[in-house]
Structure 1
Amino acid sequence: MRRRRMAMAGAAVALAGSAVIAVQAGAGPARTKGGSHAPDDGLNRFQQQKVEWHRCRTGPDDAIGKELDDAKAQCAEVTVPLDYSHPDGPTIKVAMSRLKATDPKHRRGTLLYNPGGPGVPAMYLALMVKQAEPTIAARYDLIGMDPRFVGRSTPLNCKWPTVSIGSAGPDRRTFNRSVALSKDLAARCAGHRDVLPHASTRNTARDMDVIRATLGESKLSYIGSSYGTYLGEVYLQMFPRRADRVVLDSALNPDLFGPDLSSTQGPAVNATLRNWAAWAAGHHDRYHLGATTAEVMATMDRINQAATRGPLRVGSHKVDSRLLPQILWSVTGGDSEEVYADYAADVRVLSDAARGIEVTPPKALDEALTDLSTSTDADGTFSVQTAIQCADRAVSRDPETYYRDIQAHRADEPLFGPLTRNISPCSFWPTAPAEPPTKVHNAVPVLMVGATGDPAAVYPGQQVAHRALTGSRLVTLRGAFRHTVYAGLFAPQNKCIDDTVNRYLVEGKLPNTDTTCPVMPSPSDD
């Protein structure tokens, strides 16, 4: 159920954020040209600062902090420049957690984990790595860093009244609603003009390197999944000599990352939907969605057409053409029996509602509908995720660009195209990126793992990343329809993938060549 809720949130956004941006004054000379920094370029005081470790819990209601404390984690904050081109200017705080290696005699370094997003706090999620892979936790100090402006790291919050833009819907009128909403949300961030250009992935990579230095490490090991792979790609390009053992799980295309990257997902999501439809056809006696893949897909089309004509009544909720694709996006939550069965149960409810039958949604579906239709962006998750994407790459500011693209793909992407190709607040953003996107091309040794049917980090994009990282080895899980593949953190677990990654992180052994792993049942499906 957790995976299912996370997949639904993926269309709407992830976690994070809090109240107000606060910056502090600093001192020091300016940065040299390029992405790297010379020893006398004003960063010494940041790299040599003393880390003051403390308990993680901030108060009686801080459940995450308590869980970190119970796991004997330590927490701290480091000071970094708001703008690395002016290290003598304002500064911000970046928060992190540390779980010390459980086998200190065989400790080999520090490993930082970023689970994706963007905009997802990672202080707590480092604990997930320890729980999932104790072999890695034995050999490395595990670091979870809340990226700048996320979670406890000088949080940014534009106080948006919604958690998503949603689908563009079936026609020009519904698309215009997306345009108006995007414009309004962008305007609500205008009060943060001074910090918005500095929310970029390049600056988060620089923050990572400050953390490396403050921990006294000459090199940093890293696991990044989803967006975390792009952060890793940027770090490798900016600091190639500082990287130790790096794992990129479900790599994003570094040439495209930004607000419009989702437009590449349509074919992969459709393939994932068809894979589920084949499964559902095999369980027709239980769900009654169709006895063949084609019949199940026809049921999906019928639901979509009904929502286009008017909102579906699902319990106390109204599911319109803007909301429906977001709910059905949960098919991307993984290809396990559990996820597919939960999804089929939801589709059964939506199918009945499309026929005018009174329905009661399952608890998880009811909660997801509530989150997407009534929740405000109270903690700043949606706004900070958007801020990071807008700071990384400029996009078209002409709404017609998006409407033409949606129209061109209505036939081949009728359900998800208006969602993945929709306009975003970045088209009306009050600031421009401070730097151009990072051109990734280097020969640093890297282990890449991913699935051919990944609906988010599409496989052609993984291959682009693989070609750009000429020192990489790519281990492919063929025939799997899941996003992320390592350690069962967010998708079904695969022993072949896990063994390959752990061997590399512990022994430093990359595969001799690119290779594949077979799809095997996850432990929960045995």
Structure 2
Amino acid sequence: MSRGRLRRGVLALAVLIVGSTAGSGISVAEAGLDRFYRQELRWGPCGEAKLDAAKARCADIAVPLNYAEPQGRAITVAISRVSAGDPARRRGVLLGNPGGPGSSGLGFTAQLGDHLDIRDGYDLIGFDPRGVGRSTPLHCGWPVSSDLRSAGVDSVGFGATLALEAELAARCLARNGATQSFITTRNTARDMDVIRAVLGAERISYIGASYGTYLGAVFTQMFPERVDRFVLDSAVDPARYHVAMIQDEGAPNEAAFDVWADWVAARDGEYHLGTTGPAVRATVTGLIERAARRPIRIGEYEVDAHLLPMILFEGIREAKAYPELAASVRQLAQAEYQPVRPEGNLAEYLEQALRPKEDEAAEAIILCGDAEAPRDPAWYWRNIEASRASQPIFGAFANGPNACAFWQPPIEPPTVVGNAVPALILQAVQDTRTAYQQGVGLHRALTGSRLVTMPDRVAHGVMKQSSCASHAAEVYLGTGVLPAEDITCPADRG
């Protein structure tokens, strides 16, 4: 598709969006979207054990690839439905998104029903966002599972990172062309409104986690009249999406590393990585520096200074992962001196990261399609160098380039979120993925929201960590009543 045609499509789409937020909703007949909004679904078994056990039914919904050209190509969005357990108490439909971006959400709301008292009041609707899972997925043929990785310890590693990210972006463009430009958060929000209409609902309720909070916030801005009760757990600040959002991860991950290091030091008899937190940190930073000079050979894999920080990044996000991370680092330390085969979580991680069975480029396709990233390599290098003193392990990841630095420009600008739609926002002070200030930023943008703060645990995801917070979510979803003011909820003990 030519750039001129794309721009004309964006202009037509802008007219459509103005109509959708003027108070009367989308005029589907005028927009040419009536065939999507009025389609009939064919429900059947989901073919997934957990969904089938929950008595879910699944269907495919047709949506336009390009909402500005609805008579053009259509793609499918896979959805699931667990009907409300008590028809007398049913108040509507509840959609959800587990994050990513690029994560399957087909079973997300059904799983939430196992933890929250919401089954009687809502039809629980899961869906795979466009481009993901069973929803007309896109593939890029990447040799690795993610474009998010550390840029290394020096200029040589930085140059290698630039070369890899450029290759990954080129692979996606060569395989998908302009099609990938339409796999965006704004279009997924439009898909959600089609789902709403097809299900016969005037409004939707919603639970979003991590990136799912950004999707939810975008929906509130584009379709405020279609919003019922929104719960946003571990939030993204739309004003910092997505480059600054990743930069914000550096400091809390360094802090979380020190919590893990103290835990490991207290168990030095088992892991032999250091008897104090600073000693454990010195062991790990030394391991990273040596991996930059010569990758660590462990079994059939090689772990370099780009990958090792990402292993740490995965392992420090919550306390239940601490033993496996400690065991992984111990294996890597031993592998420097003797043949070692990876075991446990390390073996699983390396298999997934370096021998990807499924293409995981959906995350990059969505992030890069939503918002531009700086293209000047010097910009990244300056930020990396400035971060090294305070973020020696994670600064080169949080400030480094990803594939978006080499991507084609987005066809729409990022959504500016600012409205008074009610919402409940849950945020952990020690969140390593969406930093606490991200939740504060979203709370500021959604002036009708309330903020629930969990101050006392390293965690990404508040509802499963705090019964106080999950209770606040249940009350809001059940009654529509937000807390009278922002509140603090401690993590559960244990």
Fold agreement, TM-score > 0.5 = yes
Q: CA deviation at 1:292?
A: 2.7
Partner SS state of residue 370, structure 1? helix
- Structure 2 unaligned spans of 5+: 1-11, 21-25
In the alignment, is the contact (CA less than 8 A) between 1:353 and 1:359 conserved in 2? yes
C-alpha separation in 1, matches of 2:135 and 2:386: 41
Q: CA deviation at 1:108?
A: 1.2
Inter-CA distance 288–189: structure 2 relative to 1 (3 Å threshold): closer
C-alpha separation in 2, matches of 1:162 and 1:291: 35
Letter in 1 for 2:483: P
Q: CA deviation at 1:143?
A: 0.6
1:143 maps to what in 2?
Answer: 125
In the alignment, is the contact (CA less than 8 A) between 1:259 and 1:390 conserved in 2? no
In the alignment, is the contact (CA less than 8 A) between 2:138 and 2:180 conserved in 1? no
2:168 is aligned with 1:185: yes
CA-based RMSD of the aligned residues comes to: 1.9
Which of 467, 477, 482 aligns to 1:495? It is 467
C-alpha separation in 2, matches of 1:123 and 1:477: 28
Matches of residues 478-517 of structure 1 in structure 2 within 5 Å?
Answer: 478-486=455-463, 488=464, 493-517=465-489
Partner SS state of residue 132, structure 1? coil
Q: CA deviation at 1:91?
A: 1.8
In the alignment, is the contact (CA less than 8 A) between 1:30 and 1:88 conserved in 2? no
2:260 maps to what in 1?
Answer: 276
In the alignment, is the contact (CA less than 8 A) between 2:288 and 2:304 conserved in 1? no
1:398 maps to what in 2?
Answer: 376
Partner SS state of residue 136, structure 1? coil
Letter in 1 for 2:221: Q
Partner SS state of residue 225, structure 2? helix
Inter-CA distance 84–411: structure 2 relative to 1 (3 Å threshold): same
Higher relative contact order (CA 8 A, sep 6+): 1
2:302 maps to what in 1?
Answer: 318
2:414 maps to what in 1?
Answer: 437
Letter in 1 for 2:111: M
In the alignment, is the contact (CA less than 8 A) between 1:273 and 1:331 conserved in 2? no
- Structure 1 unaligned spans of 5+: 1-28, 58-63
1:91 maps to what in 2?
Answer: 74
Letter in 2 for 1:249: D
Which of 200, 207, 210 aligns to 2:194? It is 210
Matches of residues 382-397 of structure 1 in structure 2 within 5 Å?
Answer: 383-397=361-375
2:17 maps to what in 1?
Answer: 34
Q: CA deviation at 1:281?
A: 2.8
Q: CA deviation at 1:209?
A: 0.6
Q: CA deviation at 1:216?
A: 0.7
1:380 maps to what in 2?
Answer: 359
Q: CA deviation at 1:36?
A: 4.5
Inter-CA distance 206–168: structure 2 relative to 1 (3 Å threshold): same
Per mean C-alpha deviation after superposition, the further-off stretch among 234-243 and 395-404 is 395-404
Question: What's the CA shift string for 1:375-423, capped at 9, x where partnerless?
Answer: 3xx5332x22111111100112222221222122222222112222221
2:136 is aligned with 1:154: yes
C-alpha separation in 2, matches of 1:194 and 1:358: 47
2:44 is aligned with 1:54: yes
Q: How many residues align?
A: 474
C-alpha separation in 2, matches of 1:114 and 1:500: 19
In the alignment, is the contact (CA less than 8 A) between 1:249 and 1:448 conserved in 2? yes
Q: CA deviation at 1:506?
A: 1.2
1:302 maps to what in 2?
Answer: 286
1:369 maps to what in 2?
Answer: 350
Q: CA deviation at 1:236?
A: 0.6
Question: What's the CA shift string for 1:158-193, capped at 9, x where partnerless?
Answer: 222221343211222221111111112212222422
Inter-CA distance 360–30: structure 2 relative to 1 (3 Å threshold): closer
C-alpha separation in 1, matches of 2:466 and 2:305: 36
In the alignment, is the contact (CA less than 8 A) between 1:76 and 1:96 conserved in 2? yes
C-alpha separation in 2, matches of 1:279 and 1:384: 35
C-alpha separation in 2, matches of 1:389 and 1:125: 21
Partner SS state of residue 506, structure 1? helix
Letter in 1 for 2:141: K
2:436 maps to what in 1?
Answer: 459
C-alpha separation in 1, matches of 2:18 and 2:276: 54
1:115 maps to what in 2?
Answer: 98
1:520 maps to what in 2?
Answer: 492
TM-score by length of 2: 0.91
1:43 maps to what in 2?
Answer: 33
Question: What's the CA shift string for 1:275-319, capped at 9, x where partnerless?
Answer: 112222333343333333222222222222332332223344332
Q: CA deviation at 1:35?
A: 4.9
In the alignment, is the contact (CA less than 8 A) between 1:31 and 1:42 conserved in 2? no
C-alpha separation in 2, matches of 1:346 and 1:31: 50
Partner SS state of residue 407, structure 1? helix
In the alignment, is the contact (CA less than 8 A) between 2:462 and 2:469 conserved in 1? yes
1:344 maps to what in 2?
Answer: 326
- Sequence identity (%): 43
Which of 393, 404, 408 aligns to 1:415? It is 393
Inter-CA distance 36–258: structure 2 relative to 1 (3 Å threshold): farther
1:258 maps to what in 2?
Answer: 242
Letter in 2 for 1:372: A
2:6 maps to what in 1?
Answer: none
Partner SS state of residue 394, structure 1? coil
Partner SS state of residue 512, structure 1? coil
Letter in 1 for 2:201: E
C-alpha separation in 2, matches of 1:33 and 1:124: 31
